[in-house]
Amino acid sequence: MRKVVVLIIAFAVVSTTVYVYFFLDRLAPLIELSSAELIYKFSMDDNSNKSNLSESNILLSGIVTKVKKSALIIDKKIFCKFKNSVSDVKVGDTIRLFGKFIGYDELFQEYKLNHCSIMNQ
């Protein structure tokens, strides 16, 4: 009986550790930037800025310049893809959103964020 209790406790500790390492760390925004700061930091020649931003969760603020069905364009340069359709957002609104920065698309000349969600309007 004692071995079963020890085994259950060990399993709980390992499960909690794996959950915290793989999931909670990815939910919290690592970087909070305005759209102008994001563009400035990524456009600098310093590769450490690019590696710090790449695949990071970002809390971004900016002005909506274009609204699509499930995407927004912020300050004409940042493309934000949502899982669901975007509603109640208009061109000219200042918003804060949370998303994963995936990099710069040279073809469209846009900075890309995936899995975005609006924090406030």
pTM: 0.69
pLDDT digits (tens, 9 = 90+) for 16-49: 776 665 555 455 556 788 988 888 877 775 655 5
Tell me: the pLDDT tens digits for 46-75?
655 555 666 678 889 999 999 998 999 999
What the chain holds in terms of domains, given with CATH numbers, is 31-120 (2.40.50.140)
Look at strands 78-82 and 110-120 and give their pairing: parallel
Alpha helices in the chain (DSSP H): 2-19, 25-27, 35-43, 47-53
Split at pLDDT 50, 70, 90, the class of 78 is very high
Kind plus residue range of the DSSP H or E element containing 111? strand 110-120
3-state SS class at 68? coil
**24 vs 49: CA distance, rounded Å:** 23
For residue 46, what pLDDT is reported? 60
Question: What radius of gyration do the chain's Cα atoms show?
Answer: 19
C-alpha triplet 115, 75, 112: angle, nearest 5°? 30
Q: Which two tokens stand for residue 38?
A: 């994001």
